[in-house]
Structure 1
């Protein structure tokens, strides 16, 4: 037993005599102390850092207490109703009253020997083949029907009073009341009596309230742009209505003034103004102006005698 103790002591003595032993020991102890201090500080500073970060976000207008908005509820971007890799292109454009005559001519639809202004856009493939029709926005299907002129029709309601309308469909895959996501397949392109010259095609409309708007103007734009456009349109319509009301009031008052002037200074057929009658002439008695025919005759006879 004594021999074992003496051996272990001699090992420690030899170890202590090494030049690197004590520096290594000091470094190891320092590292342990430094690690302990850093760990302690990180644990106590986390709440303070969190409060500091919260103050920064609040100063920037972010409410950190609000729940995160799900991706599905964020403002969507309006997409075309056909896949990006589809060969379908726009063959009939939206009729824009501000467009040039050539563009307006290309936005007319011939039916029953009459031309009608297109309230949407028509898609068709160059080879005449059918293609998938996709939901341009997420929403609720409000109508699925078969129309005599426009073929199978699907209408979807979205937020802020926006709706999308799909016509000339085949193999409809949705039903009224169904929730759809952007990009879901609604049907395939088909045919309609109203645009039978286009064969297989899709007629697509975007409705801002009850008003059709040019879909191509809002592709790749957030839905909020439609709401802004609606607000601007309503403001213009209100201003136009006010202006029309003022003009109508002015036109109503103008004839009254003209009539008053006409009564004050009547004109003859030649355009020359007649003088205003004297007050004495106006007050003449009808008995003075008109004499009986018999009395006038007797007066004439007396004069001759």
Structure 2
């Protein structure tokens, strides 16, 4: 009976086409599935490196953006690692300041009083301390000066520079980039600021013009630029004396003799901002800042 049914089935005309179509459909499904599997595997292999590279670029861009934002938001800091233990013993000479502040901004050297163009910072215990970068920038000068000790100059955006003098040692090189808070060296002593003991002499300059660092601690560069547009901290100085009395001594003047300290002190007490009888600081041909001292 089974053979008879099979023979009858084989006589059906639609059987063979149906079988061929079924087999063909299975083959096509198998080929399509294989191609899709191979394609998906290849796409995953090809896309994985691209995804990793994209992630690296994205991370790099985010880091660069973070650095840019950080530099943009940086405020001027005291050049010390521990501000709580630091104190300013010599102020910046400002013609518009009080007599008390002006007197504390005079530096006695070689029987002459000179007007400080920066601030002297010490520790309360008199010990040495780490001197740090007040802002991020590029070290444009490192030198050892017989009068001011080791000196470092850092250039920032907008032609603003910070100067660090009276360093006992230096841990950076000219041409290197430093971030805010990086250690530049340690505080020491120098010949010009002997009365300050172990200290760092710190200056802030815009286009070579000195400004009072105390006025800008905690402030961004834009405030220094704004102050520069309005006028320097030496405004209000007598026209005849403003240039000469402003200048720190150069090494060539280190051995020059002058009037006694008592005579200068008497003149300073009468008129700290400068008078016709007050001894003049080095003339205009002298170095106007520690960044231009002849070594």
TM range (shorter): 0.5 to 0.7
How many Å separate the matches in 2 of 1:164 and 1:85?
Answer: 18
Q: Which secondary structure does the structure 2 equivalent of 1:171 belong to? A: strand
Residue 93 (structure 1) aligned with residue 88 (structure 2) = no
Q: Which secondary structure does the structure 1 equivalent of 2:227 belong to? A: helix
Q: Which has the higher helix share?
A: 1
Kept after mapping to 2: 8 A contact 1:135/1:183: yes
Residue 73 (structure 1) aligned with residue 59 (structure 2) = no
Equivalent in the alignment of 1:221: 219
Equivalent in the alignment of 1:153: 151
How many Å separate the matches in 2 of 1:193 and 1:109?
Answer: 11
How many Å separate the matches in 2 of 1:107 and 1:131?
Answer: 22
Structure 1 residue 86, shift from structure 2 partner: 5.1
Kept after mapping to 1: 8 A contact 2:137/2:156: yes
1:178-197 correspondence runs (5 A): 178-197=176-195
Structure 1 residue 210, shift from structure 2 partner: 0.8
How many Å separate the matches in 2 of 1:160 and 1:142?
Answer: 15
Structure 1 residue 85, shift from structure 2 partner: 5.0
Of the two, which has the highest radius of gyration?
1
How many Å separate the matches in 1 of 2:66 and 2:166?
Answer: 32
Which of 109, 127, 130 pairs up with 1:129?
127
Structure 1 residue 129, shift from structure 2 partner: 0.6
1:57-105 per-residue CA deviation (whole Å, 9 max, x = no partner) reads xxxxxxxxxx877232232211110123552211111111001211100
Give the gaps of 5 or more residues in structure 2. Answer: 1-60, 236-295
Equivalent in the alignment of 1:84: 82
Q: Which secondary structure does the structure 2 equivalent of 1:146 belong to? A: strand
How many Å separate the matches in 2 of 1:71 and 1:216?
Answer: 28
Kept after mapping to 1: 8 A contact 2:90/2:196: no
State TM-score, norm by structure 1. Answer: 0.53
Give the gaps of 5 or more residues in structure 1. Answer: 1-66, 238-305
Equivalent in the alignment of 2:207: 209
How many Å separate the matches in 2 of 1:222 and 1:173?
Answer: 26
Structure 1 residue 159, shift from structure 2 partner: 0.1
Q: Which secondary structure does the structure 2 equivalent of 1:165 belong to? A: strand
How many Å separate the matches in 1 of 2:156 and 2:83?
Answer: 25
Structure 1 residue 226, shift from structure 2 partner: 1.0
How many Å separate the matches in 2 of 1:140 and 1:96?
Answer: 28
How many Å separate the matches in 1 of 2:211 and 2:85?
Answer: 24
Kept after mapping to 1: 8 A contact 2:149/2:189: yes
State TM-score, norm by structure 2. Answer: 0.55
How many Å separate the matches in 1 of 2:110 and 2:82?
Answer: 34
Structure 1 residue 139, shift from structure 2 partner: 0.4
Q: Which secondary structure does the structure 2 equivalent of 1:72 belong to? A: helix
How many Å separate the matches in 2 of 1:71 and 1:78?
Answer: 18
Kept after mapping to 2: 8 A contact 1:86/1:131: no
Structure with bigger RCO (C-alpha 8 Å, 6+ apart) = 2
> Which contiguous aligned blocks of 4+ residues in structure 1 show a shift greater than 3 angstroms?
none
Q: Which secondary structure does the structure 2 equivalent of 1:188 belong to? A: strand
